[in-house]
Amino acid sequence: MRDHALEAIANARNLAQLKEVRLAHTGDRSPLALANREIGALPPSARADAGKRVGAARTEVAEALQQRQEELEAERDARVLVEESVDVTLPWGRRPQGARHPITTITERITDVFVAMGFEVAEGPEVEAEWYNFDALNIRPDHPSRTMQDSFYIAGGSEQASGMVLRTHTSPGQIRSLLQRELPVYVVVPGKTFRSDELDATHTPVFHQVEGLVVDEGITMAHLRGAIDAFVTEMFGADLRTRFRPSYFPFTEPSAEVDMQCFVCRGASVGDPTAACRTCSSEGWIEIGGCGVVNPRVLVACGVDTDRYSGWAFGLGVERTLMFAHGVEDMHDIVEGDVRFTQAFGMEI
């Protein structure tokens, strides 16, 4: 009986067969179960011995069953996992891929550099009063500086000028900050701006700027330079030199254009045709924006005590920054909204 059972267990080829063997050899109607039941009918003298032998046989069979069960399960697991294997390189593009516009994300990055320095983000309306956009910024009527920026004017009713423009820069946001906030003022002003330039490879009538403004006691051009150096380090890397060139803006005096050393070639391309640099056109420098000491006339128009306070302002064009920082060659790509362009930039820049 025992040998019979052990042989059947050993011969079970799979779990299903083993289940049958288990039923046949350990079930209620199995020979061992019947033998166990019959022990009671034996003479008392034979009961102990029979009981011992039947019990030993049952234990042995159960252990064999367990062992075979484990063997067969391991075998089954191994086989099934192999059979269930898939091609994990199959694409699963069921979720469409979204993206944020690089102009938005780079604006946020620039803004955040200043926020990290303690600046707050100020904003203002895009349709703006001429007074905020020009007069308060010392851009006088009939002065050539007013025509430096080709403005979109809002039509007034019945031959009347509306006194409003699409802001030509985010600088009116600086005026609003000075009028609304307590001194000292440390703000960064990002936003959409407008000039009546036709769209071409390098111009767009709707573009974006980020400006910074500080008005505090004892502010000098050295503080302006320090802030710009800190900005350049955060955005483009350490140890890049900056260069100020005298320039003219009505709202700052003294004024400067700011260049930074090219973050790609670091000047190595200058005069070396074999190392031409596309980022800086092998000039070694990249123009990043304009800046200067806030013209005291601007502070006066905002009611700031110019004996006590002075300030600096800095502005850059976001499109231009995106173009040189990420190698965008044509403005059309930035403005047309082709998702193939934008998707390349993902969620953050």
Partner 1 sequence: MRVPLSWLREYVDLPTEVTGRDLATTLIAAGLEVETVEELGRDLSGPLVVGEVRTVEELTGFKKPIRFCTVDVGRANGTGEPQEIVCGAVNFTEGDRVAVVLPGATLPGGFTVDARTTYGRTSAGMICSASELGLWEDHTGILVLNGLLDPVPEPGTEVAPLLGLRDDILDIAVTPDRGYALSMRGIAREAAVQYDVAFRDPAEVETKPDSAPGHPATIQDPSACDRFVLRGISGFDPGTPSPLWLRHRLSMAGMRSVSLAVDVTNYVMWELGQPLHAFDRDKLSGAITVRRAKSGEQLTTLDHVERELDPDDLVIADESGPVGLAGTMGGLYSEIDESSTELVLEAAHFSATGVARTARRHKLSSEAARRFERGVDRELPLVASSRASELLVSLGGGRVHGLTHAEAVPSAELAPPAEITLAEQYASRVAGVEYPRGRAAQRLRQIGCTVLEDGAQLRVTPPTWRGDLSDPNDLAEEVIRHEGYENLPSIPPRAPAGRGLTPAQRLRRSVARALAGDGLVEVLSYPFLGERELDALQLAEDDPRRGTLRLANPLNEDEPLLRTTLLPGLLRTLARNVGRGNTAPALFEVGSVYLPNDGAPPAPILPVDRKPTEVELAEIEAALPAQPRHVGAALAGDREPSGWWGPGRSAIWADAIEIARVVVRTANAEPVVRAAESLPWHPGRCAAVYVTLADGTESLVGHAGELHPRVVQAYGLPERTVALELDLDGIELAQGVVSAPQISTFPVATQDVALVVSAEIPVAEVENALIEGAGELLEELRLFDVYTGEQVGAGSKSVAYTLRFRAPDRTLTSEEITAARDGAVAVAAERFGATLRS
Per-residue binding string, partner 1, 221-240, x by CB under 8 A, is xxx-xxx-xx----------
The residue to which tokens 């203002």 are assigned: 124
332 binds partner 1 (CB under 8 A): no
269 binds partner 1 (CB under 8 A): no
CB-based burial of residue 148 (10 Å sphere; 0-12 exposed, 13-18 middle, 19+ buried)?
middle
Torsion of CA 330, 258, 129, 198, to 10 degrees: -20
337 binds partner 1 (CB under 8 A): yes
Start-to-end CA distance of the chain, whole Å, equals: 78
Q: CB nearer to partner 1: give 60 or 283.
A: 283
Stretch that binds partner 1, among 10-18, 50-58, 77-85, 329-337 (CB under 8 A): 329-337
Judged by CB under 8 A, which of 148, 270, 328, 349 binds partner 1? 148
327 binds partner 1 (CB under 8 A): no
Nearest by Cα to 235 from 167, 314, 176: 314
347 binds partner 1 (CB under 8 A): yes
Judged by CB under 8 A, which of 15, 26, 100, 267 binds partner 1? 100
Amino acid present at 115? V
For 120, the token pair is: 């707050």
Residues 106-125 interacting with partner 1 (rule: CB under 8 A): 108, 115, 117-121, 123, 125
Q: CB nearer to partner 1: give 40 or 91.
A: 91
Q: CB nearer to partner 1: give 21 or 318.
A: 318
DSSP 254-297: EEEEEEEE-TTTTTTTTT-GGG--TTTTTSSEEEEEEEEEEPHH
